[in-house]
Amino acid sequence: MFQTKVTEILGIKYPIVGGAMMWITTPEFVATVSNAGGLGVLASAIYQSREEFADAIDHVNDLTDKPFAVNINLFPMMRPIDNNDYVDVLIEKGVKIVETSGHSAPDDLCARFKEAGITWIHKCVGVRYALKVQNMGADIVTVVGYENGGATGKLDIGTLVIVPRVVESVKVPVIGGGGVTDGRAFLAVLALGAQGIIMGTRLLATQEAPIHENLKQALVQADELDTMLIMRSIGATHRVWTNTAAKECAELEADNAELSEILKVVAGEESKAMYKQGTLDTGIISCGQGVGIIHDIPTVKDLFNGIISQATNIANGLASV
């Protein structure tokens, strides 16, 4: 019922993309998302060398024969190595799908994607950016509303508005997100004209997510008010779960702290400790407002099947009215 241009182009069962969540989207988790019928996305920026990155891609390929993508992060602070080196590895390993995201369109990379026959998805925050990358040759555009976890951009526009605005403005298929946690939101985003959805926060509370059980339980118990925006003062606004570290970051920003002080609080190593050890006030974790609609911890496969089943039942019910 939900076969779309996105499932056709990407070769996936369901029009569901698992957002790249840095240290959380390990090769194992990427493969789990793909094996469940969605598109897993590996974050290149967590790998410090070409060799580590190449090994990660090999590991994903060992775990799934389904399509997956690699995210190339365009945020300046998130480039351990030159992005051209990452693209070299993508081409060498025969990766078929790439997602780019960040402050600017990848002018220096898009020609390489096209030359290599790689399907290019660009994740952005508004119409102007979507039009630019469409003209550069993007095959699919992803846009997420202000509810989303992680980078929110500068526009502060909700999903119900930004998705249809982009859909009506571009000719390429659109993937929409921001607050998508269940079949209701999945169907709503498709009704707005998107050809697929992207989710991140909901995947944190799954059995396979590589984070500590303490953190999973905290997210299940959270509500829609338990997120906050940080790092706006440094031009990198992120929505995160409200904890001690997030509040400390906000206080530092209010006091006009140096960038180095802020980065100490939000550093990836601090967050990794929280993920692994379950120390809930150490580090930050990207988290969307949809966390308030998460009430259980299923497998990824059961989550996706449940989303499709719920959306199908709602659509059939609406058709019979």
- DSSP readout, 85-144? HHHHHHHHHT--EEEEESSS--TTTHHHHHHTT-EEEEEESSHHHHHHHHHHT-SEEEEE
Helix ranges restricted to H, the chain: 5-10, 27-35, 50-63, 83-93, 110-115, 127-136, 159-169, 183-191, 201-204, 213-221, 244-254, 259-266, 268-277, 300-319
HSE, CB side, 13 Å, CA atoms: give it for residue 165. 16
> 3-class DSSP state for residue 252?
helix
pLDDT confidence band for 321 (50 / 70 / 90): low
> 3-class DSSP state for residue 72?
strand
What per-residue confidence (pLDDT) applies to 103? 66
Q: Looking at residues 44-65, what average pLDDT do you find? A: 95
Rounded alpha-carbon distances, angstroms, from residue 162 to 3, 101, 105, 128: 23, 17, 19, 11
**Assigned CATH for 5-206+299-319:** 3.20.20.70
pLDDT tops 70 at residue 95? yes
- What is the value of pTM for the model shown? 0.95
Q: What is the pLDDT of residues 233-278, one digit of tens each?
A: 988 899 999 999 999 999 999 999 988 899 888 877 778 888 999 9
pLDDT tops 70 at residue 80? no
HSE, CB side, 13 Å, CA atoms: give it for residue 80. 14
What per-residue confidence (pLDDT) applies to 79? 57
pLDDT tops 70 at residue 76? no
Domain spans in the chain, listed from the N-terminal domain onward:
5-206+299-319, 213-289
Q: For residues 248 and 80, give the distance between their C-alpha atoms in angstroms, rounded to a whole number.
A: 26
Provide the 8-state DSSP code for 306.
H
Closest by CA position to 278, among listed 226, 203, 215, 219:
215
Q: For residues 46 and 150, give the distance between their C-alpha atoms in angstroms, rounded to a whole number.
A: 16
Tokens standing for 206? 């799954």
Q: 111 CB contacts (<8 Å, ≥6 apart)?
A: none
> 3-class DSSP state for residue 150?
strand
Q: For residues 123 and 144, give the distance between their C-alpha atoms in angstroms, rounded to a whole number.
A: 8
What per-residue confidence (pLDDT) applies to 226? 97
End-to-end CA distance of the chain: 19
Q: What is the pLDDT of residues 181-226, one digit of tens each?
A: 999 999 999 999 999 999 999 999 999 999 999 999 999 999 999 9
Higher pLDDT, 7 or 111: 7
The residue type found at 277 is: Q
Averaged pLDDT score across all residues of the chain = 93
Say if CB 293 and CB 182 are below 8 A apart: yes
Q: For residues 225 and 310, give the distance between their C-alpha atoms in angstroms, rounded to a whole number.
A: 25
* CB-neighbour burial class of residue 99 (10 A; exposed 0-12, middle 13-18, buried 19+): buried
What per-residue confidence (pLDDT) applies to 35? 98
Q: What is the pLDDT of residues 12-32, one digit of tens each?
A: 999 999 999 988 999 999 999
